[in-house]
A and B are shown apart, each in its own frame.
Chain A
Amino acid sequence: MQRLRDVLRRLSPRRGADSGDRELRADGSEQTDRLRGSSELRSDGGVATAEETPTETGRWQSLLSSDFVQSIPFWLPPFLLMGFFVYGAIGWNLVISLTDFEGLLLPEYTVSEFDLEMYRRALSDPSFWTAAQNTLVLLVAFTAVCLLFGLLLAILVDQEIRFENTLRTIYLLPMSLSFVVTAKFWAWMYNPQIGMINVTLRQLGLDFLTLQWISNPDTKLAAVIFALIWQFSGYAMVVYLAGLRAIPTAHYEAAKVDGASTAKMYWRVILPQLRASTMSAAVVLMVFALKAFDFLYVMFGNNPGPAADILATMMFREAFGSNNWAYGSAIAIVLFGMALAVVAPYLYSEYRRGEL
């Protein structure tokens, strides 16, 4: 009796065409109920005429109830949102970079007028080359020093020291701060007259070392890189520490038994095993470096000057300062290409190792 009532309920037309359907799909439990109902029908055989041939029904059923279909409500909405904002926007940006969109007018998307003019303009723009060069220097120097420093930190912290957690917390602390905050701190640190660095140098009698750190073109970029290393080397330490802890004890012991010195042990036995840590830390650090815009913007405003201008600041200045929207977009695409060159091989290798 109960079963019959269920069957009748399930056969009755669903309320509300579109919304009802969506509800059913979003709520898997309701759907399986429905399936169960119809499978019971089939085993009874009584209502078979109302259905298609058994195999087709089976296939249709198994499609609807397949894991894939049921998983759609979970991943598709976030995917669409993310896909629109990330990949949709990059595509849109690419299109804008092909137009001549600038000033206060609206962009015109006429396919026949698409050209690479903005990219040509970039190639012949000396400030673009300066910015590209600075970006590369920042990327490489920042990443390399951060990794090295982080590795040394990790090895020091890995020596079974006391207060390890406190130290780790302190070393990682700057990373929890906003670029805006750290830029404010470092602008103060670097202040040539009353900033901490120069004051300390003077106190130590090292007056000849005091410099106009962030206005002197020779030291500007280095000063920025130093501050960024201060902020992110703790991150490299955390990654390396995890890597060190993952190495089996036997390897340390084997090296000791073989009579290797501590330095040699790290160099020959431990370092080679940290390749994966190095790789992932390097990629993430490079991404941070590409996002260093906030820091530069707070410290120098729209234009850090040729000595510290990077593509990110140049793009922002061209687009949002001078309304050269298409030009800014083209620079952004170059920047995106650089990021892709770093990230794509990494993701591919992760995929090959089956870790995606």
Chain B
Amino acid sequence: MAELTLDGVTKWFEDDGGRIVAVDDARVEIEDGEFLVLVGPSGCGKSTTLRMIAGLETVSDGDIRLGGRTITDEPPTTRDIAMVFQSYALYPHMTVRENMSFGLEESTDMPDDEIRSRVEETAAMMGIEDLLDRKPGELSGGQQQRVALGRAIVRDPEVFLMDEPLSNLDAKLRSQMRTELQRLQEDLGVTTVYVTHDQTEAMTMGDRIAILNDGKLQQVGTPLECYHEPRNVFVAGFIGEPSMNFFDVDLRNGSLVAEEFEYLLSDETLADVEGHDRLVLGIRPEDIELVGEGEGRHDFRTAVDVVEPMGDENNVYLTFADADRAVATDEETETFVATVSGLRSVESGQKVVARIPEEAIHVFDRETGEALHNRKLDRTEVPQPNI
């Protein structure tokens, strides 16, 4: 009933005759009750998109529909949308109760006692019923955050918009609120658009995530789709921590040829990349295996440059150490990362063999960045989160 559709939504700003496009032709259909995370680096247009949905920013082109109703030109007041801001934006002169009642008083004809009971219900749900008669200035950051959420929830809107709502909290409280927010959203079943620059937040919270860069929508999909089947280099590099390793390679005689190594492709993979010869090879750190000895065609001799122990795992920075070309050019040694178990001891300077399994590689076109071949997923079952 309250599915939200962005149909070619575009935003440009006029600037000294020139036009700066902030959001370019964004198309997403957000289903009723879905939790969509809009993620991207700062300045990518994600906040502008959110503000267009809210009606705080005019739409230059395209349409926004909510439950089949076009709301593109409607003022924010009538859209039946609630938003949680990064700064919480509570009204400092009003008590928590007044903060939460204000929206109901302004946007509905609800009688006072009904407003009162709804506010109290919501406050109880959020665990802030003891704070109702305090003013925002007397609350901690976490409490203010809850009030801001409560203020949105009490209005029972068709859509929640959240603009980096957790970024002002400290790390511990943030992860706690993350879970709580997810649970709340599931219970309420309200369509939610959540903006963040933090890919971890995006991966953990969203039913689907929409990745934006330079005002363009790069990919919309479930977190695991975006992780395992990125549509392009940007998505592949943006999602995942540490980032995917990339190598510029050329396709020669069925092999990917880089300065330091050659990677022989199977016929199956070759078929995917046919017709492109300037390529990028991508491999996620956790897919690289470090083995003691190996002479396979996808085994490479490397040296450990730096080890970052994370506790549960180690991030191992490797350099290609081809024994034949032992001229260790210390400057400009390009490293790539492998993630191995934290219990395994790896030391700087150690020689290891890195195995890059072919079923885990991604190949992109170097010019367009488009993914030509993604990893095989037959080993892992993709869970269906959207049920």
Contacts and interface: CB of A to CB of B under 8 A. Distances in A.
Q: Do chains A and B touch in the complex (CB under 8 A)?
A: yes
A59 interface: yes
A58 B75 contact: no
Contacts of A58: 70, 72-73
B72 A39 contact: no
A262 interface: no
B82 to A, nearest CB: 16
Interface string A55-80: 00011011001100000000000000
A36 B77 contact: yes
A32 B78 contact: yes
B158 to A, nearest CB: 12
B77 A39 contact: no
A255 interface: no
Interface string B68-112: 111011110110000000000000000000000000001001000
Contact of B75 (A2, A32, A59): A32
Interface string A29-61: 100100110010011000000000010001101
Q: Say whether chain A's binding surface is mostly helix, strand, loop, or mixed.
A: helix
A36 B73 contact: no
A32 B73 contact: no
Interface residues of B, number: 11
A66 B74 CA distance: 9
Contacts of B77: 32, 35-36, 65
Contacts of B74: 39, 61-62, 65
A43 B69 contact: yes
A58 B65 CA distance: 14
A196 B113 CA distance: 73
A65 B75 contact: yes
Contacts of B109: 2
B75 A35 contact: yes
B73 A62 contact: yes
A2 B72 CA distance: 26
B78 A35 contact: yes
Interface residues of A, number: 15
Contacts of B72: 58
A54 B71 CA distance: 12
A59 B78 contact: no
Contact of B73 (A2, A43, A59): A59
A308 to B, nearest CB: 51
A39 B74 CA distance: 8
Interface string A1-34: 0100000000000000000000000000100100
B69 A62 contact: no
A253 B73 CA distance: 55
A3 B73 CA distance: 22
A60 to B, nearest CB: 9
Contacts of B73: 58-59, 61-62
A35 B68 CA distance: 18
Interface string B39-74: 000000000000000000000000000001110111
A35 B77 CA distance: 10
A2 B109 CA distance: 10
Nearest to A35: B78
Nearest to A29: B106
A2 B75 CA distance: 23
Nearest to B67: A43
B244 to A, nearest CB: 42
A329 B70 CA distance: 59
A36 B80 CA distance: 10
A354 to B, nearest CB: 14
A42 B70 CA distance: 10
B39 to A, nearest CB: 30
Contacts of A29: 106
A58 B69 CA distance: 12
A43 B74 CA distance: 12
Nearest to A28: B77
B259 to A, nearest CB: 47
Interface in A244-263: none
A65 B73 CA distance: 9
A62 B70 CA distance: 13
A96 B214 CA distance: 59
A35 B55 CA distance: 15
Interface in B90-141: 106, 109
Given A2-B109, A61-B73, A66-B75, 14 more contacts: A32-B75, A32-B78, A35-B75, A36-B77, A39-B74, A39-B78, A43-B68, A58-B73, A59-B73, A61-B74, A62-B73, A62-B74, A65-B74, A65-B75
7 contacts: A35-B75, A36-B77, A36-B78, A43-B68, A43-B69, A58-B72, A61-B73
Interface of B: 68-70, 72-75, 77-78, 106, 109
Interface of A: 2, 29, 32, 35-36, 39, 42-43, 54, 58-59, 61-62, 65-66
Shortest 5 CB-CB distances between A and B: which pairs?
Answer: A62-B73, A58-B73, A65-B75, A43-B69, A36-B78
